[in-house]
Amino acid sequence: MFDFLKKKLNLMHGQTPIVKLERLSKELGHSLYVKRDDLTGMALSGNKIRKLEYHFYQAKQQDANCVVTCGGIQSNHARATAVLARQFGWRPVLILGGSEPKDACQGNLLLDKLLDAEIRWTDDNSLFRYSDDLLEEAAEDLRAKGYRPYVIPMGGTDTTGLSGYISAGLEIREQEKKMHVAFDAVFCAVGTGGTLGGLILCKELIDWRIRIYGVNVMLDADYFHDRIDLLIRAYKDEHTLTAAHHAKDIQMIDGFVGTGYAKSTPEVAELIKRVAVAEGVFLDPVYTAKAFQGMLRQIDDGMFSPESNILFLHTGGMFGLFAQADGLFL
Ligand SMILES: Cc1ncc(COP(=O)(O)O)c(C=O)c1O
């Protein structure tokens, strides 16, 4: 393992499994596998935990006793951060987009509330445009109150969090060898870009013969292409890495945001049900179902030969399903 990946806590319970989706593979005429990063834990489940292993290592080094982060009202990242903060006996402070629901809350927000995380509400526009400023203001305020806050950016995505999915890429590579399977392509959802960015950097570091595709669930492909490019360059500078980086390695699939971020459509709901019925695996309506849609479109468009092995990275988000129960037609 690369030395720069060692500065982390071990918060996962070993490697997450890669399993073949037998019935969908038959239906689609390709070997389709899923990497179950939805099984990184329970309350801590999903892709965020891999990034938080690195952030919380840094937070401990800095003797923090409080963590501040931000996200949408149903943010998986905010929930995972709050859970972990409580596991360390620290104060979780979450800046969430939206407003306090009048009715009973659901999904991730319910867990945030049970954890008694301090929630500071802001409007969505300010959250997405000025999140770094909002985080810094909150940290200032907490310092003035005597706390030692550690700030984690939206989605845990920065040069610290990126290490999480470089490590995950190495894990997939190891599993390929054990399973005697070479994946031709891997697909994942893109919300802040840390998951895709980490996998791409891993590919560049180990000269991995795999195509890596990200499906954006908000904004557009150009935005994420530039953001991930900058992130990878910053990481390489920080760690003085010499592996070549090619902006063309960042392959985005656009067109699956649907009616907007975190908004479900009847097609998304149908797909969640189709995968659940075929395989007993639940996708979430905000990230993984849209990414899965993007992958299916590439397969339908004939992008892969029949003997291809295709891997879908399941990044979690299960609690988001409950928050959208009404929209899921059941
Ligand atoms: C369940 C889930 N999948 C995928 C993503 C996207 O990951 P990233 O923010 O690293 O792009 C997120 C968060 O943004 C998420 O919560």
pLDDT tens per residue across span 21-36: 999 999 999 999 999 9
Length of the chain: 330
What's the CA gap between 240 and 234, in Å, rounded? 10
Same domain, residue pair 172 and 246: yes
Same domain, residue pair 35 and 172: yes
The reply to whether ligand 1 has any atom less than 6 angstroms from the CB of 284 is yes
Q: Number of structural domains, the chain?
A: 2
| Neighbour-count burial of 42, counting CB atoms closer than 10 A to its CB (0-12 exposed, 13-18 middle, 19+ buried) | exposed
- Residues 147-167 pLDDT 10s: 999 999 999 999 999 999 999
Same domain, residue pair 321 and 206: yes
Residues 30, 310 contacting (CB under 8 angstroms)? yes
Same domain, residue pair 194 and 69: no
pLDDT of the residue at 103: 87
Final residue of a structural domain among 94, 112, 147: 147
Residue 152 lies in a domain: no
Final residue of a structural domain among 121, 147, 173: 147
Task: Choose the catalytic residue: 31, 45, 75, 163.
Answer: 75
Same domain, residue pair 141 and 188: no
Output the CA 181–ligand 1 centroid distance in Å.
26
Same domain, residue pair 282 and 143: no
pLDDT of the residue at 12: 92
pLDDT of the residue at 326: 84
Q: Residue 276's Cα: distance from chain center in Å?
A: 21
Residues 6 or more apart whose CB falls under 8 angstroms from that of 217 comprise 189, 190, 191, 256, 257, 261, 286, 287, 290, 291
The reply to whether ligand 1 has any atom less than 6 angstroms from the CB of 46 is yes
What is the pTM assigned to this prediction? 0.98
Q: Where do the DSSP E strands lie in 90-166?
A: 91-97, 118-122, 149-151
Residue 95 lies in a domain: yes
pLDDT of the residue at 79: 98
Same domain, residue pair 96 and 215: no
Same domain, residue pair 162 and 143: no
DSSP 248: G
Residue ranges for the chain with pLDDT beneath 70: 329-330
Output the CA 15–ligand 1 centroid distance in Å.
19
pLDDT of the residue at 58: 98
Residue 55 lies in a domain: no
Same domain, residue pair 204 and 245: yes
Final residue of a structural domain among 123, 147, 171: 147
Same domain, residue pair 192 and 260: yes
Residue 51 lies in a domain: no
The reply to whether ligand 1 has any atom less than 6 angstroms from the CB of 75 is no
Residue 39 lies in a domain: yes
The reply to whether ligand 1 has any atom less than 6 angstroms from the CB of 190 is yes
Residues 294, 256 contacting (CB under 8 angstroms)? yes
Same domain, residue pair 72 and 138: yes
What's the CA gap between 169 and 183, in Å, rounded? 12
Residue 103 lies in a domain: yes
Q: Amino acid letter at 152? A: I
Residue 288 lies in a domain: yes
Residue 52 lies in a domain: no
What's the CA gap between 241 and 166, in Å, rounded? 13
pLDDT of the residue at 241: 96
Q: Does 75 qualify as catalytic in the annotation?
A: yes
- Residue 286, domain extent: 3-46+158-328
What's the CA gap between 142 and 131, in Å, rounded? 16
pLDDT of the residue at 223: 97
Specify the CATH number for the domain of residue 132.
3.40.50.1100
pLDDT of the residue at 146: 98
Same domain, residue pair 246 and 289: yes
